[in-house]
Amino acid sequence: MAPFGKIYSYPNNFRVERAQVIAAVNGLEVPLTENFQMRVTNATPDFLSKFPMGKVPAFEGADGFCVSEGAAICQYIARSGPKAAQLLGADAKTEAKITQWNYFAETEIIPNVLPPAIMVLMKLMPFDEARYEKCAADTLRALKAMEAALKGGKKYLVGDQLTLADIMVAGPIFAASKFLIDAEMRKDIPSVVAWLQGLAALPEFKPLGELVLCETRTKP
């Protein structure tokens, strides 16, 4: 089967990996472009003619359709295959709940796990202890909200099957579990941990890699 499209990005970007999980659920192939160089490839006239902001991830369909912003790419891929109703919701209320969690991922999880990653993994900004701890505390606050939603052995955030909500939220949490969401934090969120482990066992989640649960937070 020919690829549905391709994504421009640097490797190990959870925003891309989420899109590839969605593609796998929908029976679509969406590989990364080869030989992408950050600030080189996305600064060329050809790239900027398709994606004027020069941001990645950026999606280019086999039919020439182009869209940027990670969440929009995920939404488009979810809408474009046979599992669209499952991923996005078959009625207005289910769709609203899924959308609620999608926004939750973008506003409550990602803004709190990215700064610590930039400080201690990428080392692209000086380490700021106060900001690091604030991000950790706000991450735990968000995870506790998920804990309340998943209590009682729920396997998925919305309904009784995998939806876009699970994939959008799991992407950054898989990443943060490697360096920020430590054993002490996990004591308060057993249902979230079980939910993560259940998703990690699904073959479609292979693009996110192995679920690694760190024992202690990474600091300089």
Query: For 40-54, what is each residue's pLDDT tens digit?
Result: 999 999 999 999 999
Q: For the chain, where are the alpha helices, taking DSSP H only?
A: 14-25, 45-50, 70-79, 84-88, 92-104, 110-120, 129-150, 164-176, 183-186, 190-200
Rg for the chain (alpha carbons), in Å?
17
Query: For 104-148, what is each residue's pLDDT tens digit?
Result: 999 999 999 999 999 999 999 999 999 999 999 999 999 999 999
Domain ranges, residue 49: 5-85
Q: Say whether both 60 and 35 belong to one domain.
A: yes
CA dist., res. 93 & res. 99, Å (int): 10
Per-residue pLDDT band at 163 (split at 50, 70, 90): very high
pTM of the model: 0.96
User: Encoding tokens for residue 7?
Assistant: 């994504």
Q: What is the mean pLDDT of the chain?
A: 97
In a domain? residue 115:
yes
Last residue of a domain, one of 23, 54, 85: 85
Q: With 90 as the cut, is the pLDDT of residue 1 above it? A: no
Q: Say whether both 20 and 129 belong to one domain.
A: no
Prior bond of 3 cis (ω within 30°): no
Per-residue pLDDT band at 29 (split at 50, 70, 90): very high
Domain with residue 101: its CATH number is 1.20.1050.10
Query: For 52-106, what is each residue's pLDDT tens digit?
Result: 999 999 999 999 999 999 999 999 999 999 999 999 999 999 999 999 999 999 9
Last residue of a domain, one of 66, 85, 104: 85
Confidence (pLDDT) at 3: 96
Q: Say whether both 66 and 103 belong to one domain.
A: no
Q: Say whether both 17 and 94 belong to one domain.
A: no
Cα dist. 74→67, 69, 103, 165, 213 in Å?
10, 9, 12, 11, 25
The pLDDT of 171-182, averaged and rounded, is 98
Q: Say whether both 93 and 199 belong to one domain.
A: yes
Confidence (pLDDT) at 118: 96
Per-residue pLDDT band at 14 (split at 50, 70, 90): very high
Confidence (pLDDT) at 121: 95
* CB-based contact 211:32 (threshold 8 Å): no
Q: Say whether both 141 and 165 belong to one domain.
A: yes
Confidence (pLDDT) at 120: 96
Confidence (pLDDT) at 10: 93
State how many domains the chain has. 2
Domain with residue 27: its CATH number is 3.40.30.10
